[in-house]
Amino acid sequence: MRHAGTGRWTSLRAVLGAVLVGVLAAAVAWLRLGPVARGTAWAEDAGLFFREHLALGPLDSVAHPYAGYLHLVPRLVVDAAFLLPVEWYALAVSAMCCLLTGAVCAGVFVLARDVVPSRALRLVLAVVPVLLPTAPWEISGNAANLHTYGLFLAPWLFAHRVRTWSGGVVVAVVTVLVVGTEAQAVLFLPLLVLAWSGRPGSGGAQRHGGRWRALPVTVAALGAAAAQVVTALTTERASPAGSPTVSDVVSGWTLQTVGGLLRADVASVGRAVVADGWAVVAVPAVAVGAVVLLGAVVAVRDHRPRRAVLAVALTLGSGVVWTAALVANASANGRWSRSTPTTLVEATPSRYAAAAGLLLTAAVVVAAAALVDRAVRPLGARRGRTGGPIAVVLVAVGWSVVALVLTSWVVAFPAEAQRASGPVWQPQFSDAERACVRRPSASVRIDALPWATRVPCALVLGDD
C-alpha cells in the first residue's frame, strides 16, 4: 500500500511538473511577443486560413491542402478562433498558439526523461522553443508557423518508449496532430526504432511485451506520414523551387542558424561577418559540431546509445531541414556565399533557420547532458565512465555549454517580432462596425501583416 501510494504521488508530481513547465513556457512565449505583435494577425492566419474557413467551413477546411501539404493543427486553431467574436480573432490565435507551444515544451519535458534524466537540463531542453533568440521574429504566436514547433516535438514522440498502453494511445494521438501538421516530420521516422527497443533491466519476455506498446505511435506516424506524402505528390506548389549551391547552404546555415543561436539580431551577425569574415560564424559552427560529437561519443562509451542517436539525429535534422527549405523555396535561398555587404548587414531572421535552430539547440543540450551526467554518479564509476581529470573536464565543458545557451537567451530577451509595429486587428472594428451598419450585406477590409483580408459584415455585426 505504501509503495502504491508513493507511486501515485510520483506520477502526480510528474504531471504537475509538466503542467507547470507548459504554463510557464506559454507565458514566456506570450510575453516575448509584446502587446502589438500578439494583437496583429499574421500571414495565412488572416489570409488563406481565414478565407478558406469562410469558404469551405470548419470541417472541409481542416483537411484541405495548402502549399503541398496538410496543416491540421493550424486549421483547428483558426476554427476555434472563429468561435469568438471576430474582433478578438488575432488575440485568440496568438493565445492559442502560445498555449500550444507551451504544450510542446511540456511534452518534450516528459518525453525526454529517458534521454535527459536531470530535471534541470531537461527543463533547458524543453523551453528551447520559447527562448530561441529568433523565435519571436516570425515563428512564435501564429498558426502559420505552428508546424515548426511540431517538427521540434516529432523526434521525441517517435523515440519515446511508452510505459503503458494508455500512454501509447496519447502519444499516438499527438503524433497524428504533429505529422498531420508538419510534413518534414517524416525525416525523423527512423527514430521509431528506438520506440521498439527493449527496456534496460527487465527480462526478455517483459521487454518483448513492452515493445508492442510502440505499435500505436508507429501506426499513427506512418499513417499520417502517408497522408502527407500523398498530399505532396498530388498537390501543386505555387512557390518556385530554389537552386542553392553547397556554399550557399553552408554559409546560410552558419549565418542564420548558428548566428541565430547567439543573437536575435541577425543583422548584427551580418555586420560581424562583413567586418571580420566568415570565421565569426564558422568557428562557432565547428564548436557546436565538436560538442555534439563529443557528447555522442561519451554517450556511447557510457552505454547510452539512445542519447547519442538523438544528439546526432537532431544535428543532422537541422542541416537537412535548412537544406530542404532552400531547395524547395526560391525565396528562402539568400545566396549568402555571394551576398553583398549591404545584404548581410540588413539580414533578418529566417523562419527556416528558426526551425533548424530549434533542432540544433536541442542537439547541443542533449550532448551537454551526456557530458554533465558524469557529475550525477561518482567519477570513475562503472559502465564505461572515465574517472579522474578527464571526467572533470567533460563535466566542465558540459556546464559551460549550458551556461552559454542560457546567456544567449538572457541577452535576447524579450527580442523583437516582425509584427511589432502592427496593424493591430481589434481597433479596426470600430470603423468596420459603422460601415457594416450602413451595408450589412457587404464586407470590410481589415489590415493584417503582410496582407489585408475581407471580413463579412455578418461576422462584424455578430449575425448568425
pLDDT per position as a tens digit, 9-41: 667 788 899 999 999 999 999 999 999 999 999
Query: Phi, psi (5° rounding) for residue 452?
Result: -100, 165
Shared domain for 79 and 191, answered yes or no, is yes
Q: With 70 as the cut, is the pLDDT of residue 382 above it? A: no
Q: Let me know if residue 423 belongs to a domain.
A: no
Confidence at residue 200, expressed as pLDDT on a 0 to 100 scale: 43
76 lies in the same domain as 109 = yes
In this structure, are residues 415 and 32 in contact, taking their beta carbons and an 8 Å threshold? yes
- 292 and 400 in a single domain? The answer is yes
* Cα–Cα dist 284/114, whole Å: 29
The answer to whether residue 17 is domain-embedded is yes
**Residues 317 and 438 reside in one and the same domain:** no
Residue 314 reports pLDDT greater than 50: yes
C-alpha cell, 290: 565538436
**Angstrom distance (rounded) from CA 307 to CA 305:** 5
Q: Predicted confidence band at 4 (pLDDT cuts at 50, 70, 90)? A: low
Q: How far apart are CA 413 and CA 443, in angstroms?
A: 40
How do residues 251-302 score in pLDDT, each as one tens digit?
Answer: 999 999 999 998 999 999 999 999 999 999 999 999 999 999 999 999 999 9
Cα–Cα dist 395/400, whole Å? 8
Is 309 found in the same domain as 257?
yes
Q: Which domain holds residue 180?
A: 1-238
Q: Are residues 199 and 249 in the same domain?
A: no
Residues 207 and 255 grouped into a single domain:
no
Q: Which stretches of 53-165 are assigned E, i.e. beta strand?
A: none
Rounded CA-CA distance 140/194 in Å is: 30
Span 131-181, pLDDT tens digits:
999 999 999 999 999 999 999 999 999 999 998 999 999 999 999 999 999
Q: Give tens-digit pLDDT for 58-111.
A: 989 999 999 899 999 999 999 999 999 999 999 999 999 999 999 999 999 999
| Domains contained in the chain, number | 3
pLDDT band at 6 (very low <50, low <70, confident <90, very high): low
Structural domain includes residue 418: no
Shared-domain flag, residues 206 and 320: no
CA distance 21 to 134: 21
Same domain, 72 and 143: yes
Same domain for 439 and 342?
Answer: no
> Is residue 227 domain-shared with residue 252, that is, in the same domain?
no
How far are the Cα atoms of 161, 163, 177, 211, 294 from residue 194, in angstroms, in the given order?
7, 13, 21, 10, 21
